[in-house]
A and B are shown apart, each in its own frame.
Chain A
């Protein structure tokens, strides 16, 4: 599969269809990392395996915008797994990526694995093996049966007594160092100026205080409501190991269960938070 993919990438670069292809390579210490292939001769660096869990779509946010006014936006080729394709669909819906400036190299996803060889939690609850969006597709999708996401992780948290939940989140938020890696890795976080980082301290200042960090994480989760494709990039990049997926997936669960089974990034329909009530959502309870 990687040979065919390499041939295709070489072809794309040689024909100058794309200026650059974003894929995966192995770093000097054996870690898989994003690779930017500019020259046809670099194609050999490309790899694809069960450790390629970065969501490369994040890079399109800045590559797809002109650096200077009037500058032509380069066309980028990009490797996209099924979950990444959902992020990409969200970006397309929100005018962040020009479809004709991106060549989508879809890859059939074998399911990403942890260092110890077990399936990543997010992949264990996902049965999507082929991206919804691609220009060319590589790899043979493995047979998987349909898996329904039961949100057991979220429900476990919900089942805890309130005091325990509070203590848990206080501890997690306390560790946050406001490095904003989660935001930077997230394809959905593309604001030029993050409202948690405004220089006029409108909402929060620059301090290490828990409420300020809570504000950032709550609003980030909230801004991703109906837009989060569950790629888990935020959690994976967190240097302090804060379980951000628990926050995001709580909202994913709420949206799915109260707003007509909506899933982000599977269609051009925008997040239900900005659309009118359409009838299928029961507003029976305003608590």
Chain B
């Protein structure tokens, strides 16, 4: 087993930050706001952010408030800009090529989320060029979780707190340093610059696990679509999008052309895409104003079906959910994905 001591790791990160965009969990002032009554669970105060050195990293973070997906799939990106001059001649401006980036400290569940995104955005034709570009330039250095925290249920959806499946390099904290597992070629390439020690018989700590629960069967999903249960879930839902925006696997977006026309006939049009959420009313509104998911229960239901029925059916991944538990933590009215799955499994049995 390869090993790196803490100081060497920090030195390496410092050097790395000078070469590439280094993204790592860094402390954020969330929770310091006055009057904040239901702060996200302790330890979520960190956010993945570009950092300049190892000192900026929140080393003892648990789960960040947001997943790292925004570095592959930004909240907002300009797809292109079209400039039209007065004579009608158009010029297309494309965004600049992304620089290489390393996401350090990504949790196995978040990395697993990227695997889901890959399945949806890369492995289908046509692939999403913008995502593909960033994915190509990104190397993931994972950090296994010492335990499963409150709301975590990765083990129930096929993951593990120390899974190395979806990262390029996985670090696991051991005494005085980190055990290093290099998983992919990309990881190998990145690790070339590190001074790694080979330690014989280095034992990896066993993470503390939460109880695993049973998932509803495919048949249960099929049978439950019109169940009144969704009414009960949906009537509590406020219709905010927090659950979707913190989710590592949600990938819905809205595209809009923003345009200014000059009196002389010239104009500038920007095509912008931004995250969107199936929990918003606008999401499913079509031309003419009709909305097949006009009611909150329909929108709530969609989130569960998407994660546990549509994605597994349509793409090559077991679930559209990685069990990070963020949506449970942020939900202001405590809509709990694990509770829903549990309830549904029970109904399936009954």
Chain A residues near B (Cβ < 8 Å): 27-29, 31-36, 53-54, 58-59, 62, 67, 112, 114-115, 120-122, 153, 171-172, 175, 177-181, 183-185, 197, 199, 201, 205-209, 232, 235-243, 245-246
Q: Do the beta carbons of B282 and A197 come within 8 Å of each other?
A: yes
How near does chain A come to B201, taking the closest CB pair, in angstroms?
40
- Return 27 A-B CB contacts under 8 Å, by A number: A54-B332, A59-B235, A67-B295, A120-B37, A121-B35, A122-B35, A153-B35, A177-B66, A177-B242, A177-B245, A178-B274, A181-B238, A183-B240, A184-B239, A184-B240, A197-B282, A199-B285, A205-B258, A206-B256, A207-B274, A208-B75, A236-B38, A237-B38, A242-B33, A243-B33, A243-B35, A246-B34
Q: Choose the segment among B23-31, B116-124, B128-136, B181-189 that binds chain A (4+ C-beta atoms closer than 8 Å).
A: B23-31
Q: Does B272 contact A (CB under 8 A)?
A: yes
Residue of A nearest to B328 (CB): A29
Known contacts A27-B334, A179-B277, A242-B33; 19 additional CB pairs below 8 A are: A59-B235, A115-B37, A120-B35, A177-B245, A179-B244, A179-B245, A180-B241, A181-B238, A184-B238, A197-B280, A201-B258, A206-B76, A209-B76, A232-B35, A237-B238, A239-B65, A241-B33, A243-B36, A246-B35
Contacts of A28 in B (CB 8 A): 336, 338-339
Most chain B CB within a 10 A radius of its CB, from A35, A62, A178, A239: A239
**Which residue of A36, A58, A175, A185 contacts B30 across the interface (Cβ within 8 Å)?**
A175
How near does chain B come to A101, taking the closest CB pair, in angstroms?
16
* Complex CA distance for A180 and B256, rounded to whole angstroms: 19
Main secondary structure of the interface of B (DSSP, over half): loop
How near does chain A come to B278, taking the closest CB pair, in angstroms?
13
How near does chain B come to A110, taking the closest CB pair, in angstroms?
15
**Which residue of B29, B280, B333, B339 contacts A180 across the interface (Cβ within 8 Å)?**
B280
Residue of B nearest to A114 (CB): B37
Q: B301-338: which have CB < 8 Å to A?
A: 328, 330, 332-334, 336, 338
Contacts of B254 in A (CB 8 A): 206
Contacts of A205 in B (CB 8 A): 256, 258, 272, 274
Closest 8 CB pairs of A and B: A181-B240, A237-B332, A33-B334, A243-B33, A207-B76, A208-B76, A208-B75, A241-B30
Residue of B nearest to A31 (CB): B334
* Complex CA distance for A31 and B39, rounded to whole angstroms: 13
Q: With A58-B238, A179-B242, A181-B241 given, is the CB distance from A207 to B35 under 8 Å?
A: no
Contacts of B216 in A (CB 8 A): none
Contacts of B338 in A (CB 8 A): 28
* Complex CA distance for A64 and B241, rounded to whole angstroms: 23
Q: Do the beta carbons of B242 and A181 come within 8 Å of each other?
A: yes
Residue of B nearest to A123 (CB): B37
Chain B residues near A (Cβ < 8 Å): 28-40, 47, 65-66, 74-76, 150-151, 232, 235-236, 238-242, 244-246, 254, 256, 258, 272, 274-277, 280, 282, 285, 295-296, 328, 330, 332-334, 336, 338-339
Q: Do the beta carbons of A241 and B332 come within 8 Å of each other?
A: no
* Complex CA distance for A53 and B245, rounded to whole angstroms: 24
* Complex CA distance for A85 and B175, rounded to whole angstroms: 56
* Complex CA distance for A156 and B264, rounded to whole angstroms: 50
Q: Do the beta carbons of B240 and A153 come within 8 Å of each other?
A: no
How near does chain B come to A171, taking the closest CB pair, in angstroms?
7
Q: With A53-B37, A62-B296, A120-B37 given, is the CB distance from A181 to B280 under 8 Å?
A: no
Contacts of A241 in B (CB 8 A): 29-33, 36, 39-40
Contacts of A207 in B (CB 8 A): 75-76, 272, 274
Residue of A nearest to B39 (CB): A241
Q: Do the beta carbons of B35 and A179 come within 8 Å of each other?
A: no
* Complex CA distance for A31 and B32, rounded to whole angstroms: 21
Contacts of B276 in A (CB 8 A): 206
Q: Do the beta carbons of A177 and B333 come within 8 Å of each other?
A: no
* Complex CA distance for A121 and B36, rounded to whole angstroms: 9
Q: Do the beta carbons of A175 and B28 come within 8 Å of each other?
A: yes
Most chain A CB within a 10 A radius of its CB, from B30, B40, B244, B332: B332
Residue of A nearest to B37 (CB): A236
**Which residue of B38, B47, B240, B333 contacts A34 across the interface (Cβ within 8 Å)?**
B333
Contacts of B334 in A (CB 8 A): 27, 29, 31-33
* Complex CA distance for A34 and B335, rounded to whole angstroms: 10
How near does chain B come to A246, taking the closest CB pair, in angstroms?
7
* Complex CA distance for A185 and B238, rounded to whole angstroms: 6
* Complex CA distance for A235 and B232, rounded to whole angstroms: 25
* Complex CA distance for A237 and B36, rounded to whole angstroms: 9
Q: With A28-B339, A185-B332 given, is the CB distance from A239 to B242 under 8 Å?
A: yes
How near does chain B come to A32, taking the closest CB pair, in angstroms?
8
Residue of B nearest to A62 (CB): B296
* Complex CA distance for A197 and B244, rounded to whole angstroms: 17
Q: Do the beta carbons of B34 and A33 come within 8 Å of each other?
A: no
How near does chain A come to B126, taking the closest CB pair, in angstroms?
23
* Complex CA distance for A114 and B31, rounded to whole angstroms: 13
